[in-house]
Amino acid sequence: MEDFSFRVFSQGRELDIELWIWLHEAAVRLGWHDSGTYNKDIQDWPQRGGANGSLRFDVELKHGANAGLVNALKLIQPIKNKYSGVTYADLFQLASATAIEEAGGPKIPMKYGRVDVTAPDQCPEEGRLPDAGPPSPAQHLRDVFYRMGLSDKDIVALSGAHTLGRSRPERSGWGKPETKYTKDGPGAPGGQSWTAQWLKFDNSYFKDIKEKKDEDLLVLPTDAALFDDPSFKVYAEKYAADQEAFFKDYAEAHAKLSNLGAKFDPPEGFSLDEPAPEKFVAAKYSSGQKELSAAMKQKIRAEYEGFGGSPDRPLPTNYFLNIMIVVAVLAVLSYFAGN
């Protein structure tokens, strides 16, 4: 497999990261398959599944739907090792959202602070992720995504992420060994893509399914169902004609999917897009008295809680900084992957 290597320098130490050119598709799939096990009818965490980092354990990686994702985990692991304070659950979803944006797609309105499961026995059972060729494709998609609390619009919008990547018959049982679009890579040659430019995020997936003109492009039964089912077709036609509408709905659906089943700490999570609270300057709040006023105490507490702290729980050291650094690292990885 062709690969690229480069070094990330931090605090005088080098971190070697092996970069596979298919980073975009692998990162998106990693985030989706971690969160896509969610069952809205199960209240207890982590039994309900969802974005909890369980996909890092071998027992879940060996599920049939996760074939090949061990390679994506190997790509992410050096970053996790370097920034150990960032959870796997956050890292998987961060990688997925970053890949979409760096491939030309919309910015996903993400939040972070997901808690990881701690042991393999907390992994969900096999069978919660969608199949590619079920007997009744449209109904199967609804069975799986409705279980997560998602809608027909979400199903169609999320399906549009197949604009990225390839299917390999040796892993999924679907697709050709190679096509004119994949025989030379980039990355390991082979497989069958849904679109001609399969490292670019756009609305080509919907256009190509609708036109059905190129036998070298993959159309799974669940893909075809988007134009065969009357409810799905409304959205599929809309996205084929209007990329801006697709991007808007996709960003909303992706954000929703990334939060499914997650337990956040702090409970409301935090966003990297929110402005940082005003820097606390002690002199600004000092009254010159031995005891601060109740108003000043409340202001200080609000400042502290704004960074994720609370009187009952210490502030997670450098979590915000670490995750910002990881964003930068993933963006660099994605840039090299797409060029």
- Residue 98 and residue 327 in contact, taking contact as beta carbons nearer than 8 Å: yes
Quickly count: other Cβ atoms within 10 Å of residue 207's Cβ. Answer: 15
Catalytic residue among 33, 63, 140, 254: 33
The residue among 17, 14, 191 whose CA lies nearest residue 6 is 17
Active site residue 33: yes
Quickly count: other Cβ atoms within 10 Å of residue 100's Cβ. Answer: 25
Burial class (CB in 10 A: 0-12, 13-18, 19+), 211: exposed
181-191 burial code (b ≥16 CB/10 A, e <16): bbeeebbbebb
**What's the residue count for the chain?**
339
Residue numbers annotated as active site = 33
